[in-house]
């Protein structure tokens, strides 16, 4: 099992490094701090139990973590189709500032996703496939983007309270929404950190996230992120 873990984490790292290396020249670099609060749970008991809610807020500080760079509010409704698979539909509001853009703008998103979670022996797995329809202040056209996310959680102690967590997420533009030929690879995010189960409903994660963004007619963007996540499962 430990050999399997090394192979899996090595694969995540290889994908992350390979994606960034393809556009390494002329890259703008930054250190950022991201904080996330995510709450998920059932709408009720009985017939309502399969219906889920998603409430999320994110605040990101950029420019060497000296100023607010992005705010995200996301909400959604889900339906548990099986024990391990949930279907989701939701809305997100995003405000982006420097250093990600020289002209701050708002964005409204509609999103759909399939979320699969499963525990195999001591390992926890999450796979998420998300489609976004993005309505940006800076573009007259709707931007369509696909995101594929993988996560593994490995216990470090027998109590299963302290874990190693690693995630890999790839973003892919599905159209040229602003006429700049930005169809294709958008960005990659790779996270490695510690996951600690504080209570039966609250889990915290802290670690390093490496983000790489391909930008058209501008320097590509790479940020090393101190990521802090607070996950409520109610």
pTM: 0.88
The token pair that represents 78 in the structure block: 């889900």
**Closest to 56 measured CA to CA, from 35, 86, 32:** 35
| Confidence band, pLDDT 50/70/90 cuts, at residue 14 | low
Q: What is the pLDDT of residue 101?
A: 86
Q: What is the pLDDT of residue 94?
A: 98
Q: What is the pLDDT of residue 4?
A: 46
CA separation, residue 53 to residues 41, 69, 82, 86, 211 (Å): 6, 27, 16, 11, 28
Q: What percent of the chain has pLDDT over 90?
A: 77
| Distance of alpha carbon 81 from alpha carbon 46, whole angstroms | 15
Could you tell me if 155 and 122 are in contact, meaning their C-beta atoms sit under 8 angstroms apart?
yes
Query: 25 phi and psi, to 5 degrees?
Result: -70, 140
| Distance of alpha carbon 209 from alpha carbon 223, whole angstroms | 8
- Compute the average pLDDT of residues 44-56: 97
CATH topology of domain 2-233: Porin (2.40.160)
pLDDT at 216 over 50: yes
**Closest to 147 measured CA to CA, from 128, 167, 133:** 128
Q: What is the pLDDT of residue 10?
A: 58
- Compute the average pLDDT of residues 156-179: 91
Q: What is the pLDDT of residue 180?
A: 75
- Compute the average pLDDT of residues 185-200: 97
Buried b (16+ CB within 10 A) or exposed e, 20-55: beebeeeeeebebbbebebbbeeeeeeeeeeebebb
pLDDT digits over 19-43, tens only?
A: 445 455 578 999 999 999 999 999 9
């Amino acid at each position: 099992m430990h050999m399997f873990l090394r192979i899996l984490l090595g694969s995540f790292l290889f994908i992350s490094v390979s994606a960034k290396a393809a556009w390494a020249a002329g890259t703008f670099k930054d250190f950022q701090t991201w904080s996330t609060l995510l709450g998920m749970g059932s709408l009720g008991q009985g017939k309502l139990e399969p219906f889920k809610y998603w409430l999320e807020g994110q605040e990101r500080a950029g420019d060497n973590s000296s100023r607010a760079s992005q705010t995200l509010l996301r909400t959604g409704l889900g339906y548990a189709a099986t024990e391990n698979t949930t279907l989701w539909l939701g809305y997100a509001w995003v405000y982006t500032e420097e250093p990600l853009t020289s002209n701050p703008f708002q964005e409204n998103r509609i999103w759909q996703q399939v979320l699969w979670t499963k525990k195999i022996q001591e390992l926890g797995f999450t796979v998420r496939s998300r489609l976004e329809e993005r309505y940006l202040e800076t573009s007259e056209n709707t931007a369509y983007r696909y995101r594929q996310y993988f996560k593994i959680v490995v216990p470090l102690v027998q109590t299963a309270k302290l874990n190693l967590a690693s995630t890999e997420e790839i973003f892919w533009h599905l159209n040229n929404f602003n006429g700049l030929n930005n169809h294709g690879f958008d960005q990659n995010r790779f996270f490695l950190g510690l996951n600690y189960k504080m209570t039966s409903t609250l889990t915290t994660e802290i670690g390093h996230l490496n983000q790489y963004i391909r930008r058209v007619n501008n320097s590509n963007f790479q940020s090393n992120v101190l990521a802090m996540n607070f996950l409520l499962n109610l």
